[in-house]
Structure formats: C-alpha cells, structure tokens
Amino acid sequence: MYVVKPKPATYLHDNRIYHSKKKYYRNYDRVHVPQRNPQTYDLRLIIIRHGERIDTILGENWFDQVFGDGTSPPQNYLRSYLPSRLPNRRDTFLYMLDPPITRNGQQKALTLGHQLSTVASNIDACYSSPASRCVLTAASVLQGMNRTNIPLRLEPYLFEPMFWNQPYQEFINVSPFMSSQTWARTGYNIDRAYQRLDDFLNPQETEYDYRDRSKYFFNAIEQDHDHRVRAGGYGRPSTVLIVGHAATPLIFSNIATHRSFDPVTFREQCAHIPFLHTIVLERNATTHIWKARR
C-alpha cells in the first residue's frame, strides 16, 4: 500500500498567513446573506468559501489526534470532530494533504443553506473544488437549501493557487483528492457525467496563472448559461452555486467587475476571508454587466 505522510511542519491552509493572523478568523460565524432583489438579472452566482477546517481547530498534529498514531487507545482519538459520512480512503494519510471540515463546520454550512434558501429558491447547478473540505461544505449547503437533488460537479479549476501548496509540488504523481466514485460510494450526489475543464493543475503556477484558469472557468459558466438561453433554457434567471477556497469569492468578484489584479494585494486580502464567506454576483439581463449584491 502506498502511504504518503508529508513533513510534520508543513502547513496546508488556504493562505500561508493564517497561523500568524488567527485573529481574522474569529468572526466566521457572521454570515451575510444578501436580501432578495427584483429579478433584473439572467445569471446569478452564489460563491462560498468552505467551512471550518479540522486542522485549524486541532492544530498541526490533528491527524494523530483523530486517526491515531498507533500509540494511543482508540477511545483517545477525537473522531467526534469529523463530519458525518466521511469517505474511507485507501490511503488515509492523504487526508493530511486534503483535510476535511469539522462536524461543527458542517453544521454551520447546513445553517447557511437554510439562510440562502430564503433568497435563492432555485439552484440549477453546483460546482465544487475537489478538495474534501469543499465537497463536504457544498453537500451541506445544498442539504440546508433542500436541494440535495442537485448533483455536485467536481471541478479542479476551482482549487486554490498551487503556488500556495508546496507539498502538492512534491507529490505531483499522487492526487490528494478523492475520485467521484469514492464520494458516490459514500452516498454523495456526484455528477458522474460532468466533463471537467482539465484534470491537470500546473504545480508551478503563479497567482497570475491562477487568475487565468479562474477566468477560463468563469467564461465557461457564462457560455453554458448562454447556450441554455438560446436553446430555450430554464425560462427564468439561472442560479449557480460555487464552493471553493478563500481565494474563490475574491477572484471571481475581481474577474466579473474587471478590477486590476495585484498578486501581493490579492494574497493579503485572502488572509482576511472567513470560513463560509459568501458573495453573490448577478449579471444584468440587458447589459450583461456583473454586479456584486450585498
């Protein structure tokens, strides 16, 4: 059996500033849900950062506390921190590269879904980063919205900048993410027919490269929507749920509003993005100009 265990000192957070600025994460419970607006849009994107990561709560040795290091009795392991229905992995150590959210984070994602259901009654598609923390968050949000019939489309282009993940560069031949089949076997509604934009992420990519692939995904969403409209479509505004990382809400807002992009500023801003941070982007049906709703 092939086992991967990265260096104990490795930090795998959505930004490398997290451990020195934990104070910014104390307000992640304060989720702002935009109010319902008159439907002057034809496409709406609800973009969410994933829920509370287990390694931010238990620390860098979280894996040994939860799964055990072979020296403690099973009753000492903190399995109660794990979310429900966590898939079994052939190589459990890969969770060190791909940590899940906590059970508490899962419950808060469910609550967020309840809140969103009051302003977004219809979801036409849901895209998620293949990282376990994002898949678990997306499933819980849809459950809270009573939209578990919407399958998850796992899209690698939604993963955070590879430049921020040095361990992935060392394990380039070992995917840290679970397959769609693994998630489906655990009972998650995965869109097995979805054609990913690409399964390959350049391990050496920069923040500029990350913006380019995010823009490629953003354009693909618009093109898919426009195709549906020309073909008769939904007959109503379309709403797409997107679940990613700290960088996700920021980069799509940047792309939609055509703001200038500075990698240093972008990195600093990502350090302030709380768990379950949510933004809503709406495209005007007439002008096709995007606007962020507050």
Q: What is the pTM of this model?
A: 0.85
Whether the CB-CB separation of 232 and 132 falls below 8 Å is answered with no
pLDDT in tens, 103-126: 999 999 999 999 999 888 789 999
Copy the structure tokens of residue 98.
């791909």
* Inside any domain, residue 2: no
Q: Which has the higher per-residue pLDDT, 255 or 168?
A: 255
**Is the per-residue pLDDT at 161 higher than 70?**
yes
CATH value at residue 57: 3.40.50.1240
CB 260 within 8 Å of CB 65? no
pLDDT digits (tens, 9 = 90+) for 263-278: 999 999 999 999 999 9
Residue numbers of the domain that contains 125: 18-293
pLDDT the model gives residue 4: 35
Task: Tell me whether residue 193 is in a domain.
Answer: yes
Question: What is residue 170's predicted lDDT score, i.e. its pLDDT?
Answer: 67
Average pLDDT over all residues of the chain:
85
Q: Give per-residue pLDDT as tens, 28-49.
A: 455 555 555 556 889 999 999 9
Is 50 among the domain residues? yes
Pairwise CA distance, residues 239 & 45, whole Å:
6
Domain count, the chain: 1
Q: How confident is the model at residue 288 (pLDDT cuts 50, 70, 90)?
A: very high
- Residue at 223 is within a domain: yes
Residue pair 206/92 in contact by the 8 Å Cβ criterion: no
pLDDT reading at 285 higher than 50: yes
Domain assignment present for 284: yes
Q: Percent of the chain having pLDDT more than 70?
A: 81
b/e burial code for range 252-272 (CB count within 10 A of at least 16 → b): bbbbbeeeeeeeeebbeebbe
